[in-house]
A and B are shown apart, each in its own frame.
Chain A
Amino acid sequence: MAEALFQISEPGQARVKAPCTPGFSRAVGIDLGTTNSLVAMVQNGKPVCLVDDGGDALLPSVVHYAPDGDVIVGAIARDRFAPVFPADTIASVKRFMGRGPRDAEATRKLTPYAFAPSAETEGVVRFAVAGGRAVTPLEVSAEVLRVLKARAELALGAPLEGAVITVPAYFDDGQRQATRDAGRLAGLEVLRLLNEPTAAALAYGLDKGAEGTYAVFDLGGGTFDVSILKLEAGVFEVKATGGDSALGGDDFDRAIAGALLAGLGLPADAGGDRKLTRRVLDAARALKERLTDADEASLELDVGGRSATVRLTRAELEPLVRPVLDRCAPAVRRALKDAGLEARELSGVILVGGATRMPLVRRFVHELFGRDPLGDIDPDQVVALGAAVQADILAGEGNRDDVLLLDVVPLSLGLETMGGVVEKLIHRNTTVPCGATQTFTTYADKQTGFDLHVVQGERELVGECRSLARFKLGGIPPMPAGLARLEVTFMVDADGILRVMAREQTTGREASIQVKPSYGLAEGEVERMLLESYAHADEDVKARLLAEQQVEAKRILAALDGAMADSPELLGDEDRAAIAVARAALEAKASGADANAIRLAVEDLDRASKPFAERRMNRALERGLRGKDVDTALAHAEHKHG
């Protein structure tokens, strides 16, 4: 079924060899990052990151949903739309991949997003965005992937044959499946999910000819991974991996934002104000980035209409983020132990991820490993470059038969048994692909079915592990307890994705499933999304929304003119100047055909006229208190739309 759909999405993609740029690989590597995403391709034997029109390799992983169904991805979404439409502009979506509505990430206090209500307690997170739509993290990620795919096809001059998409080594099965499905939704043939640290090691190993045992310390926007790899004669063998799939630069930002809010005397959840939340988080990120080179940084922050200066020194920053950073240490120690190594036995430490630029992080890595890390390849690009090499190998075009990656299962896989105890079938750090078989029996007389609950994690009790899937094997003839023999086989492929097969030996009844994550999408949902995405570009809807925005713009211009004529005494020179600029911009856009530009211009004018509107409101209230009809006064003062 999936294959048939591929043919619909990309006619003849894998069959017809269209002319393309000679020397370029037809498969790409994609680093689908929390903060930024990249696409790289092997060109004439060397991996290269592809850039956009402006020469940027980094595509901010930020997706804006407009009411007319338009989707805007990248720097414009981040810089232009996120501050104004925080709930309709999804950033750091990777942290929600394969996660349910009850997961920590979806229940944070300081969040700019609105979540669509979910019918059941289990299921996938959905963001409520403009146009009354509810989008899943998978769909948001697919939008980022589409942009990268288009960028690569432009460079290649032909359709892509496939892509290797990277995932944090510590992603569980559900997170991996969500990523692979996002690739499929974007019309990509996903050749492989590759662990990010492994990709980084591949880039280093081939470029620098490194041999020996290396640690890869990967601290990205949303995830932390540490992997220990042995590089020898072209074989990259992962010895151990560890990490935290919910720990990254975003958590630094949140810690800094918390301090900024406290410093401004504001509540820790920014009073539930989404725009303020977005602005404070952005300010935190900007300060953090500047403090990589500077000892002190400050910026202006718009707090409820007034501008406040927020200032931070590096000395103040470090104690704020240090507790977050310290959470990396146990994972590093455990990975070393699992690999049976001491830190001093390593040949080097490779840094990956933007957060590793921070001086504090470099010092921390030095403390942990007792050596200075390597950083000769751009930590933002190294993962995409490695993925491009792997894509080239898998597409079978390069002459790299000598290179092989041997990766591992990051978290143990098991089944729930009596009393909620986990029976592990595959232990963490087992080389993939791998399999395991275990026999279970019935515990009750005349039991006619087995309920299988597949979990992933290191803890002994089911409740403390991640629930991956539940399925049932029924139709077993009634027997006394302990007589039925259920043989369960786990099989993990080279992508790290699990398949479970169960067979009752006395009857030969079988059940086999590709594990559908409990916190994932229902069967067939990706296929439905694929089909829907074609019907999506509905021109009628667009035309109607444009007309609506134009009417709205006219209404607001008229209301503002009326209010200004009515109360000129409430307007300062500054107000007049700001309003004039924003008003002219809106007038210019209102006659155009870009509904989003009009919407942004409306918001800008709204902001410019806000002090004036507030003064009018206050005066109306005062008058009302003096005995006039408040409703009339308010209605008169209100020139805002909505």
Chain B
Amino acid sequence: MSTHGVREDHFAVLGVERRYDLDAGALEARYKELSRKLHPDRFAKADPRARRAALQRTVQLNEAWRALKEPLKRAEYLLELGGVKLATDDGGARSGGVAAPQELLMEILELREELGEARAAHDDAKVARMGEAMRARAAAAAERVAQGLTGAVTSEGLEAVARELVALRYYRRFLDEVSAHDEAREGAAHG
């Protein structure tokens, strides 16, 4: 993560309120409006200093847009601003952030083993079923993140959201494996 001391936060760069429930369409329109103004292409004929400034501001704008456009990344960023750190993937508890509980790790590990067996056995129906169940679980977690970040937020509330977000990482990795299976299957069907 790039954390420079005096930088504007991503919400300020985009000129929007610091909150979770932003309107996706309005946010995108705002990003494009700012791009039109700041993009280096607007300064192709300007002096080098103006070009450099345009480059820097657009880099900052693109970074802000990347951090805020997807709700879950926006949630992670809000936590970061609120001083709640998520554990890094490999660091676990050692990195000091909020980590996934041991029982969740065990459960996911078992589910992934089961998924691996279904893939190896070419049991497409089972892979699809497991994917469906996990998608529902991820959607519910995302919903709880949204609720946790809407309205008045306490520090306990942030911790709860952080746990959901950490869990969501594991759910997504599981779903990636389901997509990998679908892709491999499609590839075989076309090839």
Residue B41 contacts which of A334, A402, A405, A436 (CB distance < 8 angstroms)? A405
Nearest CB on A from B186, distance (A): 7
6 A-B pairs with the lowest CB-CB distances in the bound complex, closest first: A437-B2, A394-B44, A435-B59, A431-B62, A235-B32, A396-B45
Q: Which A residues lie within 8 Å of B44 (CB)?
A: 191-192, 394-396
Binding site for A on B (CB under 8 A): 2, 32, 35-36, 39-42, 44-45, 55, 58-59, 62-63, 65-66, 179, 183, 186-187, 190-191
Docked-complex contact A435 and B36, CB < 8 angstroms: no
With a 10 A CB-CB cut-off, give which of B36, B65, B66, B183 has the most chain A CB atoms.
B36
Nearest to B191 among chain A residues (CB) is: A326
Separation of A333 and B186 alpha carbons in the complex (Å): 9
Given known contacts A235-B32, A404-B35, A433-B55, is B41 in contact with A393 (CB within 8 Å)? Answer: yes
Nearest CB on B from A224, distance (A): 16
Q: Does A570 contact B (CB under 8 A)?
A: no
Q: Which A residues lie within 8 Å of B191 (CB)?
A: 326, 329
**16 A-B residue pairs with CB within 8 Å:** A191-B44, A237-B32, A326-B190, A326-B191, A333-B186, A333-B187, A395-B44, A401-B36, A406-B35, A431-B66, A433-B59, A434-B59, A435-B63, A436-B2, A494-B40, A494-B58
Docked-complex contact B36 and A404, CB < 8 angstroms: yes
Docked-complex contact A493 and B66, CB < 8 angstroms: no
Nearest to B46 among chain A residues (CB) is: A396
Q: Does A491 contact B (CB under 8 A)?
A: yes
Q: Does A313 contact B (CB under 8 A)?
A: no
Nearest CB on B from A179, distance (A): 18
Q: Does A375 contact B (CB under 8 A)?
A: no
Q: Which B residues lie within 8 Å of A192 (CB)?
A: 41, 44
Separation of A395 and B42 alpha carbons in the complex (Å): 10
Q: Which B residues lie within 8 Å of A233 (CB)?
A: 32
Q: Which A residues lie within 8 Å of B42 (CB)?
A: 401
Docked-complex contact A493 and B45, CB < 8 angstroms: no
Residue A404 contacts which of B41, B55, B186 (CB distance < 8 angstroms)? B41
Separation of A8 and B55 alpha carbons in the complex (Å): 29
Separation of A123 and B183 alpha carbons in the complex (Å): 37
Docked-complex contact B183 and A333, CB < 8 angstroms: yes
Docked-complex contact B190 and A491, CB < 8 angstroms: no
Nearest CB on A from B177, distance (A): 14
Docked-complex contact A394 and B32, CB < 8 angstroms: no
Those of A189-215 within 8 Å (CB) of chain B: 191-192
Docked-complex contact A430 and B45, CB < 8 angstroms: no
Separation of A438 and B39 alpha carbons in the complex (Å): 25
Nearest CB on A from B184, distance (A): 10
The secondary structure that dominates the B interface is helix
Q: Does A311 contact B (CB under 8 A)?
A: no
Separation of A302 and B40 alpha carbons in the complex (Å): 55
Q: Does A337 contact B (CB under 8 A)?
A: yes
Separation of A394 and B39 alpha carbons in the complex (Å): 11
Binding site for B on A (CB under 8 A): 191-192, 232-233, 235, 237, 326, 329-330, 333-334, 337, 367, 393-396, 401-402, 404-406, 430-438, 491, 493-494
Q: Which B residues lie within 8 Å of A436 (CB)?
A: 2
Q: Which B residues lie within 8 Å of A435 (CB)?
A: 59, 63
Residue B62 contacts which of A326, A395, A434 (CB distance < 8 angstroms)? A434
Q: Which B residues lie within 8 Å of A434 (CB)?
A: 59, 62-63, 66
Residue A430 contacts which of B32, B55, B66 (CB distance < 8 angstroms)? B66
A-B contact count (CB 8 A): 71
Q: Which B residues lie within 8 Å of A393 (CB)?
A: 41
Nearest CB on B from A482, distance (A): 14
Docked-complex contact A433 and B62, CB < 8 angstroms: yes
Separation of A576 and B50 alpha carbons in the complex (Å): 74
Separation of A633 and B187 alpha carbons in the complex (Å): 64
Docked-complex contact B59 and A430, CB < 8 angstroms: no
Separation of A334 and B62 alpha carbons in the complex (Å): 23
Separation of A479 and B36 alpha carbons in the complex (Å): 48
Q: Which B residues lie within 8 Å of A232 (CB)?
A: 32
Residue B190 contacts which of A329, A404, A493 (CB distance < 8 angstroms)? A329
Besides A404-B39, A437-B2, A491-B55, 19 new A-B residue pairs in contact (Cβ under 8 A), listed by A number: A191-B44, A192-B41, A326-B190, A329-B190, A333-B183, A333-B186, A394-B44, A396-B44, A396-B45, A401-B36, A402-B36, A404-B35, A405-B41, A433-B58, A433-B59, A438-B2, A493-B40, A494-B39, A494-B55
Separation of A337 and B186 alpha carbons in the complex (Å): 13
Docked-complex contact B36 and A431, CB < 8 angstroms: no
Nearest to A396 among chain B residues (CB) is: B45
Separation of A321 and B65 alpha carbons in the complex (Å): 42
Q: Which A residues lie within 8 Å of B35 (CB)?
A: 235, 404, 406
Q: Which A residues lie within 8 Å of B45 (CB)?
A: 394-396
Separation of A432 and B186 alpha carbons in the complex (Å): 32
Separation of A395 and B45 alpha carbons in the complex (Å): 7
Q: Which B residues lie within 8 Å of A405 (CB)?
A: 41
Nearest CB on A from B66, distance (A): 7
Separation of A406 and B42 alpha carbons in the complex (Å): 12
Separation of A402 and B42 alpha carbons in the complex (Å): 10
Given known contacts A434-B62, A494-B41, is B179 in contact with A337 (CB within 8 Å)? Answer: yes
Given known contacts A235-B35, A396-B45, is B62 in contact with A430 (CB within 8 Å)? Answer: yes
Separation of A406 and B61 alpha carbons in the complex (Å): 12
Separation of A431 and B58 alpha carbons in the complex (Å): 10
Q: Which B residues lie within 8 Å of A326 (CB)?
A: 190-191
Nearest CB on B from A27, distance (A): 9
Nearest to A234 among chain B residues (CB) is: B36
Separation of A367 and B186 alpha carbons in the complex (Å): 12
Nearest to A487 among chain B residues (CB) is: B2
Residue A235 contacts which of B36, B40, B183 (CB distance < 8 angstroms)? B36
Nearest to B184 among chain A residues (CB) is: A330
Nearest CB on A from B165, distance (A): 19
Separation of A232 and B63 alpha carbons in the complex (Å): 21
Nearest CB on B from A439, distance (A): 9
Separation of A141 and B2 alpha carbons in the complex (Å): 40
Nearest to B57 among chain A residues (CB) is: A433
With a 10 A CB-CB cut-off, give which of B41, B63, B183 has the most chain A CB atoms.
B41
Q: Which A residues lie within 8 Å of B40 (CB)?
A: 433, 493-494
Separation of A192 and B36 alpha carbons in the complex (Å): 17
Docked-complex contact B63 and A330, CB < 8 angstroms: no
Q: Which A residues lie within 8 Å of B179 (CB)?
A: 337
Separation of A431 and B39 alpha carbons in the complex (Å): 12
Q: Which B residues lie within 8 Å of A329 (CB)?
A: 187, 190-191
Separation of A367 and B36 alpha carbons in the complex (Å): 37
Separation of A367 and B189 alpha carbons in the complex (Å): 12
Nearest to A237 among chain B residues (CB) is: B32
Separation of A402 and B39 alpha carbons in the complex (Å): 12
Docked-complex contact B2 and A394, CB < 8 angstroms: no
Given known contacts A404-B39, A406-B35, A493-B55, is B65 in contact with A431 (CB within 8 Å)? Answer: yes
Q: Which A residues lie within 8 Å of B63 (CB)?
A: 434-435
Nearest CB on A from B169, distance (A): 16
Q: Which B residues lie within 8 Å of A402 (CB)?
A: 36
Nearest to A235 among chain B residues (CB) is: B32
Q: Which B residues lie within 8 Å of A235 (CB)?
A: 32, 35-36
Nearest to A27 among chain B residues (CB) is: B44
Separation of A401 and B37 alpha carbons in the complex (Å): 10
